[in-house]
Every structure is written in structure tokens, then in C-alpha cells.
Structure 1
């Protein structure tokens, strides 16, 4: 028995940049343990599994260590695969997941994610957070992730965190963000507690980043860049309780995973 997989680099127009994700389109669900093993085998930040349910696609995402409730770049990658390889009709694809209804729309070369905003509450800046990041933190916000606002893009790029200490902090991971030099804002994302030391480009963190920066900068449309080694550009828009996150994606590999039926 074999399963087809497709690897896509998301939030980039060229291969070997942006954030790689693995995509499996399934006829029916595999066991949860098997999906986790497959994700661990690929060892990418996320592996997405898709099963059609009515007019929508049910989507689940696994890191090498655990299942997560929301992922932007692997959803973008999944839409790329459905549109281009499986010839999904129309200009929009609806997904359902643990976090509710999602949609991806084609706009020229870009794919646009429509996600819910993520709420966060401002919390005191802890000594543990500053020590783990190794730099001063101006503000801290707690939601599903812990977000640290720092003074500049230069400071953000120079950050060399203590990953073991970060894994002990509350939340799925730690977002570090700052005003951008060429973009409205920049960010990085560290989630060693769920098997991702540093994610190259993270769509889901922008569900909290966009509302924060929209309010701070007084604008609804924003340009963003995630300053990882691979890097990725995101075109962002706040629309009420939803965010739109647009980017390009490129297919880089397809193949078969063989399963031992014994």
C-alpha cells in the first residue's frame, strides 16, 4: 500500500525559501498514531492531511511531535496542491478544522488565507521571557502563543534564544515581533515545546500579529516579513474578526510513501 505526498514551499515564489509543508490528500482518515508517525518521518514543521467532507475539506496538521489546532502555511500548501494537482474547481476552497471554518482564495499568483483573529491579553514581561530570549522585551501578550514585542528589526534578527528555556514558557510557542525596516512589521516564531525550534514562516501567528499591528499602526492593510533563515513575505489585511493572509507557493516535490500492511 502506498500514499501520495506533495511538498510545497509556502509564502514564497521560489523553491528552497518560505516554509515547506507536506500534503496528503486521503480518501479516508488514517489512524491518529499513523499520521503522527508519518509527520515524524518527514520531519517538517507541519504535515497536512486532507479528507473531503461534503463541499469542504477536513484538514488536520501534525508537527513531528504533536497535532496542532491551526496552521497557515500548510493550509496554503494544501490549497496549492488541490488547485494545481487535483484540479479543484472554482476560485476558493473551504476547509474545516479544530479551529472552525477556513477558506483559501486564488488572487492571481497569490493564495489568500481567510482565518479568524486570535485574541491575546497583555501580561507583565517576565524575567524568564527576557532571559530565554536574551534581549529586552517591551510588551508581552498571552494567547495560544506568548508574543514578545521588541524594539527593532535588528534586535529581532540578532536574537539567539535559549530553546530549552523557551519550551518551559506558557503557550504553544513564542512569537517575537518588532517594527519592520522595509515592512510594517517583522516576526520570528519559536516552538521547541511542540517540536519546532524555529518555524520559517508561520501563517497562524499572524492571526494575533495582524490585530496588534493594525491597532498600533492605525491601518488595516499591512506588509509583513518573517525573518527566519529561509524567510517569507506575507500580505495582510484585518477585516473585523477575520484576517486575510496572502502569499505565493511553489510545488517542489511529489512522491509515494510505502506502508507495511503486515
Structure 2
């Protein structure tokens, strides 16, 4: 089986979010896929296979658990398949329904994902203390908590207590703010970071699925369907979002770092 590491939501190597991509020859057991994901040590490793009829089967594993939705590993998978000669629209059967990918000019890949808007919620006990910041607004989506803070500098400076954050009942916690950049020619409309210690990922470098929450939130606030989000992790990355009703287009580049063969 062929195995790849791909940096997603970046146009340069050693930035964005690295994902493993495993091209399966046949369906594999959950325990085996989890073992491979632990060996790869990326925040997610994608496992894809097809029988030549219908959407490709796609699943994602962190080093600790299987997840129901992952943007950067889907982008990585599409990038690999296009590099190997795939053309046109790709369809993936996943735990979050059928997701699609299309490659445009310059290798930009656009994913079609479900929007998962956050509804206002009371902050869970210990959330502010775990993050070390004062929330301006807190909401809960299908998977995550969304926490708006007062500035991009606050987002950049968050240093969570991961032991305490692990006790918060959510897949992950998204911390976000307006970018603070001038509207004319701004490189990003909003910024964010994503913390997921409950699923084995203290901080995810660039989180596609988080932008399924961020896109409807900031599109409503800013009155525009098309936005640019910048994730302020150490590696950093950019996700271009387009809100289309109950769907979100997530667009980004990816770079293959290495490829090889899995022998077990």
C-alpha cells in the first residue's frame, strides 16, 4: 500500500497541517487503521479505497480515535489522487455523508463540506480558566465549542492548560477573532486556533472542519459569503471559505512531503 505525508492548506512545504494518506487495496479493520495513525503521529491520517463504482470510501483517524469529519486530511487525499492522475470531481463516502473535491487553477482544491453553525451556549465550567482568556461569545456546534475573543493578539497568545481543557465536553475548542487587518487588500478576514486534547491533538495546525463552524459565524457577522481565514498555529495556514446555504466550500493548496510503501 502507498503512504503519503501531505502538508495541507499551504502552498509551501513544512507549513500548514500535515496529514497521512493511506491508499488501501481493500477495506481494513479499525484497529489496524488506528495503529497506522499512531505510527504516523499526525493529527489525522486518512484511509481511502474504492471498488470502481460509486464514491470512494474515506475515513480519518487521530492517534487516539476515529473522527467523523476532517478537512485537511480530505484535502490531502484529493491532492494525492489528483497527483496520481485523477481528473474531475472526486466523491468520498464518509461518516459525515458524501463529500466532494474539485481541483482548479494552480492546484487549488475546493472541498464541499456541511456547514456546522454554532448556537449560543453557556460556557462549560472551567472553559475560561483552561484557556486563560475571557470569552466575548461562546457557542456550540455539532462537534466543537466556538469561543470568540477580543482580538487577533489574544488568539495568538492563548496558552491553554491542556489537562483542564481535556475535561471540557467537546471534540475541540475553536478560539477566534477578527483579523484586525485593514479591509482593503487584507490577507485574512478572521483568525483562529483549534485545540483538541480530548481526541489526542493538543493543537491542530490548520483545521478544515473548524471552518465549517467559522464560515457561517463570520459570514453572518461580516455580511459576505466568501471569506479568508488564517489559523495562527506555529505552522500556520490559510483556508478560503464560501458559504452556500447549509454547505461550505473550503479551498486550499497542498504539498506532498514524502511518499513510500507500507509493508504491514
What's the TM-score, normalizing by structure 1? 0.95
Q: Is 1:145–2:144 an aligned residue pair?
A: yes
1:115 maps to 113
Distance 2:39 2:33 in 1: 10
- CA drift at 1:89: 2.7
1:126 to 1:70, Cα distance in 2 relative to 1, 3 A: closer
| Aligned ranges 1:4-15 → 2 under 5 Å | 4-15=2-13
Q: Residue 37 of structure 1: SS of its match in structure 2?
A: helix
Which stretches of structure 1, 4 residues or longer, exceed 6 Å deviation after superposition? none
2:165 maps to 166
Aligned residues: 255
1:154 maps to 153
- CA drift at 1:51: 1.2
1:93 maps to 90
1:51 maps to 49
Match of 2:100 among 97, 100, 103: 103
Verify the 8 A CA contact 1:166 1:173 in the aligned structure 2.
no
User: Is 120-129 or 30-39 further displaced after alignment?
Assistant: 120-129
Residues 162-184 of structure 1: per-residue CA shift (max 9 Å, x gap): 11111111110111011013321
Distance 2:23 2:200 in 1: 23
Verify the 8 A CA contact 1:124 1:139 in the aligned structure 2.
no
Distance 1:94 1:257 in 2: 25
Q: Is 1:223–2:220 an aligned residue pair?
A: no
Residues 182-218 of structure 1: per-residue CA shift (max 9 Å, x gap): 3211100000111101000000011111000000111
Distance 1:202 1:88 in 2: 25
2:184 maps to none
Distance 2:54 2:79 in 1: 17
Residues 133-155 of structure 1: per-residue CA shift (max 9 Å, x gap): 10110111112101111000001
Verify the 8 A CA contact 1:125 1:138 in the aligned structure 2.
no
Distance 1:93 1:227 in 2: 30
What's the TM-score, normalizing by structure 2? 0.94
User: Is 182-191 or 123-132 further displaced after alignment?
Assistant: 123-132
Q: Residue 258 of structure 2: SS of its match in structure 1?
A: strand
Q: Is 1:73–2:78 an aligned residue pair?
A: no
Distance 1:199 1:135 in 2: 19
Distance 1:63 1:224 in 2: 23
Match of 1:240 among 238, 245, 256: 245
